[in-house]
Structures are given as structure tokens and as C-alpha cells.
Amino acid sequence: MGGLNIKSSAAINQALLAKKAWELLTSPSSLWGRLMKNKYFPNSNFLSANCPSTASWDWKSVCSAKELIRKGLFVKLGNGSSIDPWLNFWIPDYHPLEPPFPLQREAPRMVLDLIDVHSRSWKRDLVFHWWPPDVAFRIISIPIPIFQAEDKYIWVSSSTGEFSVSSAYSIAIKGIIQHPHRPWLRI
């Protein structure tokens, strides 16, 4: 950071691991994606997968990039079936800082639970029940697609919306700089 343009090896490592994590999130049907999904998260997506202490070194390494992925990820609403309303960045200009845990049993688990699929409109009473009015108004202003489409992952740190190692590095280096006296605490 002193002008020699020497990159942080810890931040580069996190950015490269984030690339593999991004692939798991956006291409779970690849050979490697299918293997990891079958073994570690058969009934969920990568972001909600656990990282048990008995997991392989590879899996633990990729899991360490989850926070970096979450910092650069925006989920564009399609059908809402893969968006966790409490953990994903899906509301424009609003990034949840702390999810309201523990969630009550009747809390919506997916954004799809907030949509009336027959009329293709928001369940306003449910939205206003779970979010403060300023956030609820942002939610109901999100257009619901007329045609069924999958939710789309967008990397907000790049101009194209596609993941890049250099933009992930920029996010990672900010996380390391915030904690210079604790280099093991990344992102």
C-alpha cells in the first residue's frame, strides 16, 4: 500500500477463492459444482450451505469466501424462489446489516413467499408486517416479472455485472485494510 504496487497475497487468495464460490453459486450444474452440491449442500444453494469441521480443505477454503461474495452480490428478482429475504442483497439501495435472528416460525423464508403468484403482485400486508415502512416501500416498488424467470446473480462491483477477480480483490483489500492489526480477520 506504500506505492510499490505489491498486492496483498491474502486478498488475492480470497479473490481467487471467491471466483470458485461464484462458480458454485452461478453454475451449480458444472461437474465440480455438482460434486460439491451433492456432498455439501444438496438441498440449498452455496450461500446457505454449512461448512462442517469435518469438511475437506477445499470446501473450507471456498466457504471462507462467502462473506466476500455477499459483499459484491446483488440478486435481481425473477421468481423469488432462491432469494433469502434476510440474507441476500435484493432490495435496491438497501443492504441488510443484521438479519433479524432468530426468525419466528411464520417469517417468510424466501422472497417467493412475499409474492401472490396468481396476481403477480406483492403481498403488501406481509411486507409491511416484517419490514419497516421505508424498506417495505422499496420492496413493493420492485417490479415483479410477468413471465417466470430465475433469480439472477449480479456482481455489483463490476460495470458488466459479471464477477471479476480484480473487483473481488478490491473488496477484499478493503476488508483487510479495515483490520490491519489482525491480518487473519479478513472481510
Query: pLDDT at position 182, please?
Result: 38
Nearest to 117 by CA among 151, 88, 81, 83: 81
Nearest to 170 by CA among 187, 182, 154, 184: 187
DSSP string, 163-186: --HHHHHHHHHHHHHHSTT-TT--
Query: pLDDT at position 161, please?
Result: 87
Query: pLDDT at position 185, please?
Result: 36
DSSP string, 127-140: HHHHS-HHHHHHHH
Nearest to 36 by CA among 61, 8, 73, 71: 61
Query: pLDDT at position 29, please?
Result: 87
Using 50 as the pLDDT threshold, list the residues of the chain that sit under it.
177-187
**Tens-digit pLDDT profile for residues 75-94:** 899 998 888 888 788 988 77
Is the CB of residue 60 less than 8 Å from the CB of residue 49?
Answer: no
Q: What is the DSSP letter of 44?
A: S
**Tens-digit pLDDT profile for residues 57-72:** 889 999 999 989 988 8
Is the CB of residue 67 less than 8 Å from the CB of residue 93?
Answer: no
Query: pLDDT at position 115, please?
Result: 94
Place of cell 403482485: 121
